Amino acid sequence: MTEPVPTVDMEKLVSLCQRRGFIFQSSDIYGGLNSCWDYGPLGVELKRNIKEAWWRANVQERDDMVGLDTSILMHPNVWEASGHLTGFSDPLVECKQCHLRWRADQLEGDRCPSCGGELTEPRQFNMMFKTFMGPVEEDAAVVYLRPETAQGIFVNFDNVVNTTRKRLPFGIAQIGKAFRNEITTGNFIFRSREFEQMEIEFFVKPGMDKEWFEYWVQERLNWYSRLGIRRENLQLRPHGEDELAHYASMCSDIEYLFPMGWSELEGIANRGDFDLRQHVEHSGKNLEYYDDVTNEHYLPYVIEPSAGVDRSALAFLCDAYTEEPDKDEIRVLLKLHPDLAPVKVAVLPLSRKENLTAFARAIYADLRQHLITSYDDTQSIGRRYRRQDEVGTPYCVTVDFASLEDNRVTIRERDTMNQIRVPIGALRDTLQAKLAGEDLFVLPEGGEVWKEG
């Protein structure tokens, strides 16, 4: 058995992302803001699609889950209770010579990796971003940008139980920004100080937690697979006793084979009743759940599948990135799952001749009411195919002069470059069926197949 290798190197991917409008550096014209990123016109649609797929699978298609959208600024007591104020820190050392700062636990030697200078003793550096709320900068006004969306869920557990009357087991899901003032960042959008989380807190009866932990590990693995990530590029890594976070009794990372190697894509933790118990103690509120089947009161245990939107985007992009020899060139394509592709269909008239344009525009106007569709009439048809390949558009619809005669157009498939010719009346249904995963080679009446090139 051979070890899998990363599908793409980071430099290539970053270049494609910037060139084609997936991801730009934040505040680019001012030299960039370290480790913050802006999603461009294609990136924002990819990100929307990832979040939509997650929400659909985890909230809307489930009976046992509701959503929440809590604020980024939260009461400081929340972070005291959660342990973040005291515990959410990394050991920081500074070089006495060049004054660069480093994470002590990531250094191999005991001298500065940059200049070889002597380092200070490590001190704990809290990773929460702090700001002041209200018109005064004083300790009483300090609030923090949340370092995780999870606590917004815990402090609303009681509100949700009371207003939805959900019974255990059930979960609360949330998508939103979180902020961590990391000492070291890097690997493109993999580790940034501002990022977006997709978190579930799944509340179960104590004793049922191990079972649900296993369930969620599998469920989350399946989610990535269903959206096209190859199973061999995913692995499970259970945490050892020594690396468990203070709140967790079990934790497994779903790792993806990123360009820099196997790294965490998502963590699934068994948080027990740690968080609810802390909030009971600090708020004085009774957050026990009343189980009307067994007539018991207890604090539920919590299984937390915690995913990153940005890391997911990076993994989907990496896994989709493909280079193929094609005649004398290399064809670059993103084999994105149709649900994730920013653009579903591109309409390409063979030339800019007026009658062809009008015809193609009419097709485009119809399709875009139902599917995210783009229109491109510049340069050669081959160049335009390549351009759509590179951003992951699953289907191109080519309109040629014969179309004006026979009312048929060509559908060209991204991954295989297969082409089929279909009557315009069947075009939309055919595309929708193909995008929903039905067989490419089921042809509508009057259709025919051939191969590009």
Binding to a copy of itself (CB under 8 A): which residues in 128-147? 129-136, 143, 145
Number of other CB atoms surrounding residue 19 within 10 Å = 9
Considering only 10, 44, 332, 424, the residue that binds a copy of itself (CB under 8 A) is 44
Q: Which range, of 34-42, 197-205, 227-235, 266-274, touches a copy of itself by CB under 8 A? A: 34-42
Q: Which range, of 75-83, 204-212, 296-304, 417-425, touches a copy of itself by CB under 8 A? A: 75-83
Task: Report the DSSP pairing between strands 142-145 and 73-74.
Answer: antiparallel
Residue among 107 and 372 whose Cβ is closer to a copy of itself: 372
Considering only 50, 53, 57, 78, the residue that binds a copy of itself (CB under 8 A) is 78
For residue 369, state whether it binds a copy of itself (rule: CB under 8 A): yes
Residue among 89 and 418 whose Cβ is closer to a copy of itself: 89
Considering only 101, 210, 237, 331, the residue that binds a copy of itself (CB under 8 A) is 101
Q: How far is the CB of 244 from a copy of itself (least distance, A)?
A: 25
Considering only 15, 163, 222, 416, the residue that binds a copy of itself (CB under 8 A) is 163
Residue 220 Cα distances to 127, 255, 335, 339, angstroms: 28, 12, 21, 17
For residue 19, state whether it binds a copy of itself (rule: CB under 8 A): yes
Q: How far is the CB of 365 from a copy of itself (least distance, A)?
A: 9
Helix spans in 241-353 (H): 274-283, 309-320
Task: Please give the Cα distance from 172 to 152 (Å, whole number).
Answer: 10
Task: Please give the Cα distance from 244 to 349 (Å, whole number).
Answer: 57
Q: Which range, of 20-28, 226-234, 290-298, 299-307, touches a copy of itself by CB under 8 A? A: 20-28
Task: Please give the Cα distance from 320 to 231 (Å, whole number).
Answer: 13
For residue 323, state whether it binds a copy of itself (rule: CB under 8 A): no
Q: Which range, of 125-133, 210-218, 227-235, 436-444, touches a copy of itself by CB under 8 A? A: 125-133
Helix spans in 354-451 (H): 354-367, 381-391, 401-406, 427-435
What's the sign of the alpha-carbon dihedral 49, 157, 211, 306? positive
Task: Please give the Cα distance from 140 to 132 (Å, whole number).
Answer: 9
Q: Which range, of 73-81, 228-236, 434-442, 444-452, touches a copy of itself by CB under 8 A? A: 73-81
Considering only 64, 69, 323, 324, the residue that binds a copy of itself (CB under 8 A) is 69
Considering only 54, 179, 223, 247, the residue that binds a copy of itself (CB under 8 A) is 179
For residue 15, state whether it binds a copy of itself (rule: CB under 8 A): no
Number of other CB atoms surrounding residue 381 within 10 Å = 18
Question: Which phi and psi (to 5°) does residue 329 adopt?
Answer: -115, 175
For residue 26, state whether it binds a copy of itself (rule: CB under 8 A): yes
Residue 79 Cα distances to 14, 278, 306, angstroms: 35, 10, 18
Considering only 85, 107, 160, 332, the residue that binds a copy of itself (CB under 8 A) is 160
With left for phi above 0 and alpha for psi between -120 and 50, is residue 134 left, alpha or beta? left
Q: How far is the CB of 179 from a copy of itself (least distance, A)?
A: 8
∠ CA(43), CA(44), CA(49), 5° rounding? 95
Q: How far is the CB of 159 from a copy of itself (least distance, A)?
A: 5
Q: How far is the CB of 28 from a copy of itself (least distance, A)?
A: 6
Considering only 20, 84, 271, 414, the residue that binds a copy of itself (CB under 8 A) is 20
Considering only 111, 177, 231, 352, the residue that binds a copy of itself (CB under 8 A) is 177
Residue among 181 and 322 whose Cβ is closer to a copy of itself: 181
Number of other CB atoms surrounding residue 281 within 10 Å = 10
Residue among 43 and 305 whose Cβ is closer to a copy of itself: 43
How deeply is 426 buried, as exposed, middle or buried, from its count of CB atoms within 10 A (0-12, 13-18, 19+)? middle
Report 272-311 residues binding a copy of itself (CB under 8 A). 279, 282-283, 285, 287
For residue 411, state whether it binds a copy of itself (rule: CB under 8 A): no
Residue 208 Cα distances to 97, 158, 200, 217, 272, angstroms: 54, 20, 17, 15, 11
The count of residues interacting with a copy of itself (CB under 8 A) is: 80
Helix spans in 289-393 (H): 309-320, 354-367, 381-391
Considering only 1, 2, 31, 327, the residue that binds a copy of itself (CB under 8 A) is 31
What's the sign of the alpha-carbon dihedral 370, 376, 380, 386? negative
Considering only 125, 215, 262, 298, the residue that binds a copy of itself (CB under 8 A) is 125
Residue among 171 and 259 whose Cβ is closer to a copy of itself: 171
Helix (H, G, I), strand (E, B) or coil at 144: strand
